[in-house]
Amino acid sequence: MKYFILIVACCVFNMTYSQKCNSKFSGEIHDFHDGTPIVGATVYIESIDKYAISDIDGKFSLENVCDGSLAVVIEHVACETKQLNVKISGDTFRVINLEHHIEELKEIKLKGNSTPKLMKTSQETVLKTDVIERYSSLSLGDALKQISGVSSINTGNSIVKPVINGLHGSRIVVMTNGVRLQDQEWGIEHAPNIDLNTAGSINVIKGANALAYGGDAIGGVIVIKPSNISLKDSLYGKTIVSGQTNGRGFSLSSSLIKTYKKGWYVGAQGSTKRYGDFEAPDYNLTNTGLNSKGFSVDAGYKTFEQGFDVYYSYLNNEIAILRSSHIGNVEDLVNAINNQQPLVVNDFSYDINAPRQDVTHQIFKSNLYKRFKKFGRLELQYDFQNNQRFEFDIRVGDDRDKPAIDLTLKTHTIRTELKLDSKSNVTYSFGVNAGYQNNFANPDTGVRRLIPDYDRYDAGIFTIANYRMNDKINLDFGLRYDFNRIDAKKFYQTSRWEERRYDDDFGDIVIDDLGTQLLTNPVFDYHNVSASAGIEYQMDETNSFIFNYGLSNRAPNPSELFSDGLHHSAARIELGDLRIKQETSNRVSGTYSHSGNSLNFNLEAFYNHIGDYIFIEPTGTEQTIRGAFPVWSYGQTNAALFGLDLTSRYKFNERWSFSNKSSLIKGRDLDFERALIDMPSFKSVNILGYSNEKWLSFNSELQSELVLRQNDFPNNNFEVFIPSTGQMVLVDISTPPPAYHLLHFQSDITLNISTKTDLNIGLNVTNILNRSYREYLNRLRYFADDLGRNVMLQLKLNY
């Protein structure tokens, strides 16, 4: 009976309302800060499940809306989600101001869709689609170097590992489409397996404050996100083709996305790159070609309230490594260093010969989310990654075509995150993740395993709070705990086991004695606590400050623990150490931002104290029948890294502008009072820009890149006896190369072919003056110069 009355009451209620449900609710959405219209914002009326999307002028309208008070949610990728109560009586017009993120106001003003910062109180920079597209034919590392404070450590020009404030490898977390990349990132010659063409935006967060992604990102976090999908009936895509003179190659990337107003979408993307031998100004860099193929597919359903996504990506990179860098022993190294040019210089070729890498990375991801009214958003995700790495050395006889390294790394991760954002000034996030990883080193290589077979178990839990105290102050707090267990099965040469004195400390982990080899079962557990706190203070319209603190711990990676053996490509014996503990970073940083009418700048300072900092450096030589080899050992020390990063831009008028990006970093070994090895040198980039909308949206930039010589380096040079000359010779593996200055030019125009199609034509010239130079952080600097002049033509078609 009770129910009956209720049902009747509802019907009556509905009927009364349906009679007055022909009002029109329209309006305009503006940026709170500068009043510009906001494009692509979603206006959602929860009670009747209706959407509208703001157009190019920020306008929207919803037909057949009932009179009365309506709860409206306005959402935009670059803005705070806003909830409003609107009183509708007849046709109603409202102007709605949205809080655009502060980041939008500085740097490049962007047309079209934009990307917010992930964390308000961190040192964070966003690379947008147009910048990423310019690097379509290059690598992730090359694109990220545009950010002040981000550099790279290279093996040649195709293997580019990003370095954030002096830290790289396992100290950087790379998130791609919500998945934490697990691709043997511990290896210095292992570039991230990312196809830059899958990225719509890239956020780089310096330091370990982004705890949602991991507690061990002492260097920082790189978050790569696909282009945002909007809720409308549409079919769109883009194709980028580029050809270049250096490497005589091309790259091609194409994507197509179909979206439906109801929220369904499906998309696919593919790209390929092919280059032959690159050229230094004076000679061919024999065997430096590249062959890359990748594709991804994505489908799902997305609304404000719920959605799911299924994603798969495949990327294969075949990379040739400079022939002359493959050497035999320390005498060959001395010869290479003393020779002004590489020992092997052949005619141009597209062949990819040994030494080479062949790496395939696959990602499968599925996730779903649901938003609960007046509560928050719950997200669940599972992902699987398979990384297959082959490395081919120069070998003889039957082994010629056999890989010297054959590793398969499989990673499963599940994670869930609950975000409570019903209150306008406080957001809480809670997350849990668990992962299992298995590494398999194929014994068929006929070479002792560089990295052993292992199982790894990870579990993490975190909580993050964001408070918006008032219009001026934002606060972030985060706390995270991680557990890691690594369970390995590793063979040691008995002689190495004894030389390392492992029999004293680790006698109990030997499970089999094969005479010359021992099979061991090291199992290590690590407990890591990380925390972060940050404050953003918006002093006035143009000036703001950020201060933050981050505590993080990183467990040693398999390479730091288990490396043992000869690395041919570097002619060195690399030794890990089972005694290595986790490292602990305490980082404080401050940022001052100014965004005026003509002058914008962003000055970031940081101090990072890393207790038990893990690093590798030369520690001596060992004699073998091949001759002597330098030994590089992993060790730990207390270290401090500190520096300044400046990004500034001055607009003379609508057309002319001048920018500067500079970064200075110092790394100190506190225990031994000396410099740290492999720290980026001072770099300053000055850019003169000219744009003119009237000339087919013409943009151009002349860039001057100045890199000074690194004068702070540990002297690890050593003397070695060269039998063939009977002399002691100094092996200079420490002295950094001299300073260099390069000029680059880039320009582009845009042609509107039809209302929905435009063609962008870009011309880029790098190293215009064809200068010969070597970079301290390129591991092949002993063997050859860096790249000479390159002219690249790029066509970009948006449809």
Partner 1 sequence: MKTIKKTNTMKTFKKISILFLATLVFSACSSDDDSPIPVNEEEVITTLTAEFTPVGGGSTITLRSRDLDGDGPNPPVITVSGPFAVSTTYNGRLIILNETETPAEIINSEIEEEDDEHQFFFQATNGIGTFNYVDFDGDGNPLGLAFTMTTSQSAATGRLTITLRHEPNKDAAGVSEGDITNAGGETDIQASFSVMVQ
Specify the stretch interacting with partner 1 by CB under 8 A; choose among 12-20, 224-232, 509-517, 687-695: 509-517
453 touches partner 1 by CB under 8 A: yes
**Which of 21, 268, 394, 793 touches partner 1 by CB under 8 A?**
394
**DSSP 8-state assignment for residue 6:** H
Q: How far is the CB of 452 from partner 1 (least distance, A)?
A: 7
Report the alpha-carbon distance of residue 644 to residue 660 in Å, rounded. 13
Least distance to partner 1, CB of residue 398, Å = 8
Q: Stretches 139-147, 388-396, 534-542, 640-648: which one binds partner 1 (CB under 8 A)?
A: 388-396
Residue 512 binds partner 1, judged by CB under 8 A: yes
Scanning 86-94, 183-191, 438-446, 654-662 for contacts with partner 1 by CB under 8 A, the matching segment is 438-446
- Per rule CB under 8 A, is residue 331 in the interface with partner 1? yes
Is the peptide bond prior to 281 cis by the omega test (within 30 degrees of 0)?
no
What is the torsional sign of CA 350, 352, 355, 361?
positive
- 790 close to 767: Cβ distance less than 8 angstroms: yes
Cα(275)–Cα(306) distance, integer angstroms: 44
Site stretch for partner 1 (CB under 8 A), options 30-38, 73-81, 449-457, 676-684: 449-457
Nearer to partner 1, 99 or 332 (CB): 332
Nearest to 723 by CA among 632, 633, 631, 624: 624
Cβ contact 533:548 at 8 Å? yes
Which C-beta is closer to partner 1: that of 90 or that of 397? 397
CA distance 7 to 406: 68
517 binds partner 1 (CB under 8 A): yes
d(CA 573, CA 189): 15
Q: 629 or 713: whose CB is closer to partner 1?
A: 629
Beta strand pairing call for 264-275 and 249-259:
antiparallel
Q: In whole angstroms, how close is the CB of 782 to partner 1 at the nearest point?
A: 14
Least Å from the CB of residue 718 to partner 1: 16
Nearest to 36 by CA among 105, 117, 85, 107: 105
Question: Is residue 449 at the binding interface for partner 1, with CB under 8 A as the rule?
Answer: yes
C-beta of 785: minimal distance to partner 1 in Å? 18
User: What is the full DSSP assignment across 589-632?
Assistant: EEEEEEE-SSEEEEEEEEEEEEEEEEEEEEEEEEEETTEEEEEE
What's the min distance (Å) between Cβ of 377 and partner 1? Answer: 30
Single out the residue of 40, 116, 169, 452 in contact with partner 1 (rule: CB under 8 A): 452
Q: Which of 258, 448, 579, 674 binds partner 1 (CB under 8 A)?
A: 448
Our CB check for partner 1 shows the closer of 213 and 491 to be 491
Q: How far is the CB of 338 from partner 1 (least distance, A)?
A: 11
Nearer to partner 1, 303 or 493 (CB): 493
First and final CA of the chain: distance in angstroms? 60
d(CA 80, CA 29): 13
Residue 625 in contact with partner 1, rule: CB under 8 A? yes
For residue 119, give the 3-state DSSP assignment. coil
Instruction: Determine the length of the chain.
Output: 799
Whole-angstrom distance, CA of residue 205 vs CA of residue 706: 25
Report, in Å, the least distance between residue 409 CB and partner 1: 15
CB of 52 to partner 1, least distance (A): 46
- If residue 3 lies in a helix (H) or strand (E), which one and from where to where? helix 2-18
Alpha helices for 106-201 (secondary structure H): 129-134, 140-144
Q: Which 3 state secondary structure label does DSSP give 209? A: coil
Which C-beta is closer to partner 1: that of 518 or that of 535? 518
Residues 6+ apart with CB under 8 A from 671: 637, 638
Whether residue 122 contacts residue 104, with contact meaning beta carbons closer than 8 Å, is answered with no
Tell me whether residue 14 or residue 340 sits nearer to partner 1 (CB atom). 340
Tokens of 458: 């990870």
Shortest reach from residue 390's CB to partner 1, in Å: 16
CB of 725 to partner 1, least distance (A): 8
- 64 lies in the binding site for partner 1 (CB under 8 A): no
- CB closer to partner 1 out of 326 and 361: 326
**Min dist. Cβ of residue 574 to partner 1 (A):** 10
Cβ proximity to partner 1: between 443 and 596 the closer is: 443
SS3 492: strand
Work out which of 289, 618, 627, 788 binds partner 1, going by CB under 8 A: 627
The contact mask relative to partner 1 for 400-419 (x = CB under 8 A, - = no) is --------------------
Query: In the bound complex, what is the minimum distance in angstroms from residue 566's beta carbon to partner 1?
Result: 4
Nearest distance, CB of residue 618 and partner 1, angstroms: 16
Judge contact between 17 and 52, C-beta under 8 A.
no
Residue showing tokens 């060992």: 622
Shortest distance (Å) from residue 570 CB to partner 1: 13
Compute CA 560 distance to the chain's CA centroid, rounded to the nearest angstrom.
22
Among 446, 507, 596, 738, binds partner 1 (CB under 8 A): 446
Phi, psi of 213 (to 5 degrees): -95, -15
Question: In sequence order, what are the residues at sequence separation of 6 or more whose Cβ sits closer than 8 angstroms to the Cβ of residue 577?
Answer: 500, 560, 561, 633, 634, 635
* Binding piece for partner 1, criterion CB under 8 A, among 50-58, 248-256, 331-339, 686-694: 331-339
Q: Which is nearer to partner 1, 179 or 333 (CB)?
A: 333
Which residues in the 475-504 window bind partner 1 by CB under 8 A? 489, 491, 493-496, 499
Is the distance from CB of 784 to CB of 729 less than 8 angstroms? no
* Max Cα–Cα distance, the chain, nearest Å: 108
Rounded to whole angstroms, the Cα distance separating 780 from 188 reads: 12
Radius of gyration of the chain (CA): 28
Which of 68, 565, 590, 611 forms a contact with partner 1 (CB under 8 A)? 565
- The answer to whether 629 contacts partner 1 (rule: CB under 8 A) is yes
From the DSSP assignment, how many helices (H) and strands (E) are in the chain? Answer: 7, 45
Among the listed residues 127, 573, 580, 784, the single contact to partner 1 using CB under 8 A: 573
Choose one: 186-194, 256-264, 327-335, 733-741; the region binding partner 1 (CB under 8 A): 327-335
Compute the distance between CA of residue 29 and CA of residue 751 in angstroms, rounded to an integer.
Answer: 29
Q: Which of 241, 420, 566, 702 binds partner 1 (CB under 8 A)?
A: 566
State which of residues 2, 85, 504, 726 lies at the interface with partner 1 (CB under 8 A). Answer: 726
How far is it, in rounded angstroms, from Cα 13 to Cα 639?
70
Q: Which residues bind partner 1 (CB under 8 A)?
A: 326-329, 331-332, 335, 343-344, 394-397, 399, 441, 443, 445-449, 452-453, 455, 489, 491, 493-496, 499, 511-512, 514, 516-517, 519, 565-566, 573, 622-627, 629, 723-724, 726
